[in-house]
Every structure is written in C-alpha cells, then in structure tokens.
Amino acid sequence: MLSIDAQVTELKELAEREHLDIVDTFIESKTAKEPGRAIFNEMLSRIEKGEAQGILAWHPDRLARNSVDGGKVIYLIDTGKITELKFPTFWFDATPQGKFMLNIAFGQSKYYIDNLSENVKRGQRQKVRRGEFSGVAPSGYLNDLVAHTIIPDPERFPLIKKMYELYATGNYSLKDLTKTFVSRKGNVIAISVVQGILTNPLYYGVFEYKGELHQGVHEPAISKELFDKVQLVIKERSRPQKRHERIFPYLGLLKCAECSASITAEHKIKKSGKEYTYYRCTKKKGVCSQAYIREEILTDQLAKYIESVSLSPALADLALQELDKDKEENSIMSETHKQNIKQEISVCKNMLDKLLDAHLETTISVEEYKERKNKVLNQKIELEEKLAKINQKGNRSLELTKNLVLRAKQAHIVANTRNHSDLSDFFKTIGSNPLLNRREIQSTPRGAWLLLAEFDPDFRGGGGDFSETHNRLILRELKESNLRPAFWRRLLYHLTKLPFY
C-alpha cells in the first residue's frame, strides 16, 4: 500500500485527468476496520448537505472495511447523494452492476482484515505456547529482531535487579529509585515507570497474556522470592498512614450508673513525668457526682470479675474428659435408638403394603381399609419426624457445654495475663448492663456465666492444680447450685455426670 502522501498525489493527478474539482481532502489515520471514524463521518455529513457529489479514494478498502461504513456509502449512492466514486485501481459506475461490484469489494476488504486478524491471533497464541514474549521489550530488555523475542539489555539489565533489591529493604522510595535507572534516551525515568517495573512479573520469568500468566523462555532478571518481597513492601506503603493516637482499651465498655452517660478516658502527664490514664463520666447528660477511676484499678476489677466466672485448668480439663465420654456414649445410644425407629418405620411400610393388597383383593371393606391405613400412616409420619429430630439435634447440647467449659478455662487465663484488649473483649461477652458506680464495676453475668459465678471462690484454684478428688468435689458443688435454668440443668448434668430429677 502506498503512503498517504503518495495516495494524495495519485488522486490529485486522477482529478486533473478527469477534470474534477476537489472540494476538500480528508486524511483519516484511524483504521477502517471499526465504524465510528470521526473524519470519515464528517465527510459523509458534508456530502449529505450537498457540498460534494462524489469521493476519490485509492481503493474501496480505504473507505470501509466494516459493514456499517460500507452500508452508509452504498445507501448514499442509492439516494443520489453520491453520484461518483473514483479509484485509480478500481472501476465503479452508479448502476446496479456497479453497486454489486462495490459491495463485493467492501466484502473482500472485510474478509481480508478479519482473516488477517485471525492469523495474527493464531501466531500470537503459538508464541505464547512457546513462552515467547511479544511486543516492545520492557525496560532492561531489548527486542531480538531475528528470534522475535526479548534479550537482556547489557547496560540496563543489571540495574533492574539492583532496583528490586534496594526497594525490598524498605529504606528507599519510588522517587529515590528514579536515580538508579536511565532510559535508552539517557533521561531520568518517571516514578510511574519505576512502579511499573516493580510490579511487572516479567522480570522473574513470566508474562501475562489475556489475564493469564505464562512462563517465558527469556532470562529472568530477579527471583520470584525477591519479587514477592517487593510486593509486600508496596502493599504496606499503599495503606493509608494513620495518626499515632493513644488507644484507650476500655472505651465504650461501661456506662455511668448515676446519669447513664458514657465513660470516657483521659491521659495525663504530671510535672514529675509520671503518666496516668483514667476513666470518668462524660457528664454530658447533666450534673454527675461520679469520680474518676485509674486504668490500673479498672484493670484489677475486670480481671477479678472475669476470674469469678472462670474454671481452673485442672477442673476444666476434667470436665472436658467427662464430656468426651458422654459424647461417645450418646453417639452409641443415639445410633441404637435410630436403628430401632428405622425398623418401626419399615414395619409401618410393610403394613401399608399389605393393607393395599388386601384392599385390592377386596378381602377388607373400603371403610376398614381407610381407617387402618390412616392409623398406620400417622404412626409412620410420627416416627419419621422423631428420627429427623434425632438427626438434627445430635450432640448439640454437649458441644454447647464443651464450648462453655473451654471459654471458662480461657477466662482464667485472660484474668491472669491481664491483657487490656483481651479483658475488654471477654467482659463484653459475659457481662450484661455494665455500669461504673463509685469507682466500682457493677454488672451481672449473663446466661451460663451467672451459673459459674455461683461457685465458691475457693474452687477457682488460684491458678494451681488440685487433685482429681478435690476437682470432683468442685463439680458436685456446681451441681448443688441454686440457679438451674432449663438448658443449664443439662449443662450441670454433663459437668457432673450425676442425674437430675
């Protein structure tokens, strides 16, 4: 194909030979493969307004290689807006035969471009299978025009590894790295180019094609391990930097018992240099006489409160052993029970079959058949529902009890370690309606925690391990607690292995 300047020259010579006036010259750089070319549409619009009656082009494929633009040209010929089409290498006349030939030319142009696209894509896919990178070589590489792949740039290839190694230390910014690399033209590279290099997997030996990574045959500049380190540094630095604010772990935990306002926190530094954190009522709801409480005192009270619902590790482990035994026994008993119910359901099915046979053989009356069938059918449905409940229920109560024991054991650990965050989280779990009154925490343990709070404090163990006999005495003490909600009666049974009546 001739260059654009050569095409314009040829067309002007054609216009002189044909004695044609050229109204304007349009040079469209956008491909004719897709519709929507602005300059092409402008030319057709001016023809529709009557500014010109024809078009000069090097070949029909310069006008259109898609069905939409080709259809527009033919429609303007049909309506008489275009009376002449002139091509140096193609004949056209505004007759049915001429339009037919023009249509074929447009079709051939479209077929050529579609076929070319498929050939290019096929070749591209084959290169991908061979692990060959296509396109302009990235920084640090050069295009090998013979092998049609990329090879290391002797000058810049080592700088890629240096750039990665520096950034992986976390001591260098993207701006700092712009000074370690110079473009092929000798210019300092932009920060965006550095960022592109540091996030391009091609440098550790793979390249991306249609969203999928493929291993390349080119020489990698860095290892995958180094690439991953750099990605971690980038991820950390991309997070918004938070201001260093003091954290008060017990904020939002309590309400003022006098005025029900929230409890806030303050940090003070005395002239001596000592630092204190204390909590007090915000007094936003009016006058309030409640005084402040120091954080360490509040920590002591929270630890004591959580310890009051805890189980010593030795006691908890004993309870867990008993629960595991119960679970195994229950599974055996449950399976036996289910087998018995299944047998009863099978008997009901056989009875229904026999009743149907007797009804069909007219050995029993219709009324007797319906009465006996309804009775057996209802019995079968009741058995199936009972079986479904057993399957659904399983060892759920045992699991709930086990979770409580584990949490009570954890409460002992939390109370002794006194981690502020853990104390706060655990207190939110077990306490209901927590208030601060006269520098004292007021809260009633909720649910099963209230049951555990009924324990004699001497049975907590104080962090030590008691004998198994002593632990069993503790379990009995728990059994004799006055607080016995319906579900927790089952809990006590599983903890003590003693029957309840």
Residues 378 and 458 in one domain: yes
Are residues 117 and 156 located together in one domain of the fold?
A: no
Pair 81, 150 in one domain = no
> What pLDDT score was predicted for residue 15?
84
pLDDT score of 441? 93
Q: Model pTM?
A: 0.41
Residue 55 parent element (H or E)? strand 54-56
What's the CATH number where 160 sits? 3.90.1750.20
**Average pLDDT across the chain, whole number:** 79
Percent of the residues in the chain that have a pLDDT greater than 90, as a whole number: 14
d(CA 282, CA 305): 24
Confidence of residue 440 (pLDDT cuts 50, 70, 90): very high
Mean pLDDT across the stretch 119-142?
78
Q: Are 445 and 324 in the same domain?
A: yes
445 pLDDT above the threshold of 50: yes
Longest dimension (CA), the chain: 121
Are the CB atoms for 314 and 471 separated by under 8 Å?
A: yes
Write phi, then psi, for 244 (nearest 5 degrees): -80, 95
| pLDDT band with cut points at 50, 70 and 90 for residue 241 | low
Q: Is residue 195 part of a domain?
A: yes
pLDDT tens readout for residues 36-72: 788 888 898 898 888 898 888 878 777 787 878 878 8
Whether residues 369 and 330 share a domain: the answer is yes
The long-range contacts involving 140-146, CB below 8 angstroms and separated by at least 24 positions, are 140/197, 140/203, 140/221, 141/218
What's at 435, amino acid-wise? L
Instruction: Give pLDDT, residue 398.
Output: 67
Among 127, 153, 184, give the residue marking a domain's end: 127
- Cα separation, 151 vs 419, whole angstroms: 57
Residues 332 and 480 in one domain: yes
Domain enclosing residue 275, as ranges:
255-302
What kind and span of H or E run contains 393? helix 366-393
pLDDT at 496: 45
Q: Which long-range contacts (CB under 8 A, 24 or more apart) does 216-220 make?
A: 216/131, 216/132, 216/133, 217/130, 217/131, 217/132, 217/149, 218/131, 218/132, 218/133, 218/141, 218/149, 218/150, 218/151, 219/151, 219/152
Based on the fold, state whether residues 234 and 286 are members of the same structural domain. Answer: no
Cβ(246)–Cβ(267) below 8 Å: yes
Please determine, for residue 400, whether its predicted confidence score (pLDDT) is greater than 50.
yes
Q: How high is the pLDDT of residue 242? A: 58
Residues 19 and 158 in one domain: no
Q: Which residue in 484, 310, 266, 286 sits closest to 406, CA to CA?
A: 310
Q: Which residue has the higher pLDDT, 423 or 357?
A: 423
Residues 6+ apart with CB under 8 A from 129: none
- The pLDDT assigned to 483 comes to 37
Same domain, 347 and 448: yes
Choose among 402, 420, 412, 464: nearest CA to 305.
412
Cβ neighbors of 268 (< 8 A, separation 6 or more) are: 275, 276, 277, 278
Residue 249 lies in a domain: no
pLDDT top residue among 193 and 132:
193
97 located within any domain = yes
Q: Is residue 471 located within the same domain as residue 435?
A: yes
Through-space distance between the first and last CA atoms of the chain, rounded to whole angstroms = 102
Tell me: the pLDDT tens digits for 250-293? 998 999 999 999 999 999 888 888 888 999 999 999 899 999 99
At residue 346, does pLDDT exceed 60?
Answer: yes
* 99 and 228 assigned to the same domain: no
> What are all long-range contacts of 211-219, with beta carbons under 8 Å and residues at least 24 apart?
214/128, 214/131, 215/131, 216/131, 216/132, 216/133, 217/130, 217/131, 217/132, 217/149, 218/131, 218/132, 218/133, 218/141, 218/149, 218/150, 218/151, 219/151, 219/152
Number of domains in the chain: 4
Residue 108 belongs to some domain of the structure: yes
Classify residue 218: in a domain, yes or no.
yes
CB 149 within 8 A of CB 217: yes
Residues 80 and 27 in one domain: yes
